[in-house]
Every structure is written in C-alpha cells, then in structure tokens.
Amino acid sequence: MIERMGDVEVLSHSGTDLLTDPSWDAFAVAEGTVFHTRRFLLSWWSDRLAKNPASRLIGVRLHDGEHLVGVCAFELHDGTLAFAGGRDVVDYMGPIAEAGREKEVAAALARWIFETPGWSRIELAGLVQDDPVARALADEICRLAPEAVIAPYDQAPRIEKAPEGYLPMLNSKRRADILRKRRSLSEAAGALELVDSTSANIDAAARLLLEWKAAADPEMASFVAEYGGFVRGMLAELAAAEAGYVVELHADGRPIASVILLRHRDTAAIYNMAYDMSLAAPGTGLAPGVVLISLLIERSLEQGLRFDFLKGAQDYKLRLGGVPVDLVAITVER
C-alpha cells in the first residue's frame, strides 16, 4: 500500500519483502541500530512466526520522491499493533529516520498508524527517550490521540566514548573495586584473557553460554528454553556480517565466562552474559561476569567505541560506569 502524507510517501507491505530489499539494510546500517537490520529482524520474525502463526509482519518505508528517509517494522497480532521485536529479546525498536527528517518521518508514520485498520490497541515499546525520531513520534501520537499513555518502562545504561580510557574515567573507589576483582579472579583461576569466537566455533560458544545461563536459576532456564534457538540463529546471522559474536573470558586457557557482543557502527553492546556458576558460589568472593565486562569495556573504549549495556539498569552496570537512558512505551486504545 502506498500513501502520500505531505512530502513523504509511505509504502507498507505485509510480509518480509521490504526487509529483504538491500536498501533496508543499507539504511539501517547508516541510521539505526543492529536491532533494525535485516539479519536481526528476520531472525526474530522466524522465531516469532513459528510460535504465533497468526501474527503479521508489516514493513514500512518512507520516501521523499526517490529518496528513502525512514523505515519501521511492525507486528500485528490479536488486535495489537506493536513494533517488530518483543521486549524479551529486542532492546531498541521503532522507526529510524534520516538525520534532519525525524519530524516529517514521525508525522507521516503516526498518520499511517491511525489510518491502518485491524488494530484495537497499539503498544509501541523500545523507544529511546533521547532519540529525536522517538520524541517526535511520541509528540505526534499525543497530538492525534490525546489519551495516549507515554511512560518509561526500563533503562539502558551506556558509556560514551572516552579518549582517556576506561579506568581513569571511574572514581577511585570503583576503579579499586574492579582491579581487586580482577586480581582475586586471576589468583584463584589463572591468567585472564579475552577470546573472541570464530566462524568455526561460534555455535559451540553460544551453546556453552546458554548452558551456563540455564544453570543460573529457574527464570533463566525458562528463558533459554523459550529463546535459546532464536539466540543461536540470530547470532549465526549476525556473525556472517561481523555484527555479532561471543567473547569469552579464559583463565589459563579455559572459558569461565562469556557474553554475546553486538557491533554496529561505533557501538559495542552486550547481549546476554553468563558464567561458570562454580566460580561465583557464595563465599568465593569471585566475580567472573563483572571482570569479563570490565575488560570488554576497557577494550571497546580503547578501540574508540561507545559501550552499551542494553536494557536493564542492574546495579553492576551502574557500578561499572553505565549512565542510564530511559526506554519508553506508547500505548493507545482505539
């Protein structure tokens, strides 16, 4: 379906055709996050459709003449219109827009939403509060539906680029705590080293991470049972584009903790972490997860990247220097 709204033309299509067009990925790479890319979205959709066959995926492209200025993917399921991607496994959702065209894209997209039939409720989560197109979309939806509820539901801590490096940016107490944890783990387990997965061992590394995660507690075991297949499939897709891999912390050559690292433009983001629970048993005083992430932050900042902890403002993320940014959801009843 094609509609013209002001200078912006809105093209929508049910199914995966728009996402598989090369221009979608080119735009997502230039303007969005890894969660907006074809490889991530199609991995999510494959899992989602298998579990919810009645769901519809709707791709939306926004053009000014021949020029692409925005994209957004939606799911319509059981009368609810949401951004493509579930809160359990996707951190950033919603539209992306060319810099400087955020308000036009948001206005056209909001009008398209309210002119689209088939939904009785919209639940638009995964919007970053400080993102210009997210703010513009919230404003436009409020204008069209004053009863809309817009509220934060989580936070995503981040560390911006730091030319001075990681440890110098921390206060003395936090810096000493990290160095103490590194020293204690090294003394107990052996020499520490970060090891990146390769194409030959990435699935084995993902399986080990999920095994450790499932052993952590019943809630994590349920998550792995529900989404373990998705995580492995998504990681295989992203690894083919060098956008995702597993980083393990080795002690004397054996893995003791691991994390999925997502790379997109100038950002490194951690997505699911786990570790050998025997090393973090009560009374050991060891923190393999914290040591792994602190070393990964240090390496990422040295590479000139910003570091994103993604969703969830857990205490350890804040102690490691993360600055929370609100994630916002928009809800409207029709």
For each of the domains in the chain, give its residue range(s) and CATH number, in order of start: 2-157+327-333 (3.40.630.30), 158-308 (3.40.630.30)
Q: Which tokens belong to 183?
A: 């020293």
Q: Which of 16, 5, 9 is nearest to 67 (CA)?
A: 9
271-277 own/partner pairs: CB under 8 Å, 24+ apart = 271/91, 271/244, 271/310, 272/209, 272/213, 272/231, 273/209, 274/209, 274/210, 274/211, 274/212, 274/213, 274/216, 275/212, 275/249, 276/212, 277/212, 277/215, 277/216
pLDDT value for 7: 80
Instruction: Give pLDDT, residue 2.
Output: 53
Residues 6 or more apart whose Cβ sits within 8 Å of residue 178: 167, 170, 290, 291, 294, 320
The pLDDT value recorded for residue 192 is 97
Predicted local confidence at residue 124, as pLDDT: 98
pTM above 0.85, yes or no: yes
Are the beta carbons of 291 and 192 closer than 8 angstroms?
yes
pLDDT of residue 214: 96
pLDDT of residue 106: 97
Per-position DSSP letters for 174-240, written without gaps between them: HHHHHHHHHHHHHHHH--EEEEE--TTTHHHHHHHHHHHHHHH-HHHHHHHHHHHHHHHHHHHHHHH
Predicted local confidence at residue 34, as pLDDT: 97
Query: What pLDDT does residue 237 have?
Result: 96
Q: Name the one residue in this structure whose structure tokens are 């970060």.
A: 194
Closest C-alpha among 302, 308, 320 to residue 162: 302
pLDDT per position as a tens digit, 227-259: 999 999 999 999 999 999 999 999 999 999 999
Residues in the chain where the model's pLDDT stays below 70 = 1-6, 283
Q: What is the structure's pLDDT at 284?
A: 74
Q: Give the per-residue pLDDT at 144.
A: 97
Number of CB atoms found within 10 A of residue 317's CB: 22
Amino acid 280: pLDDT: 75
Q: What is the pLDDT of residue 1?
A: 57
Residue 298 φ then ψ, to 5°: -60, -45
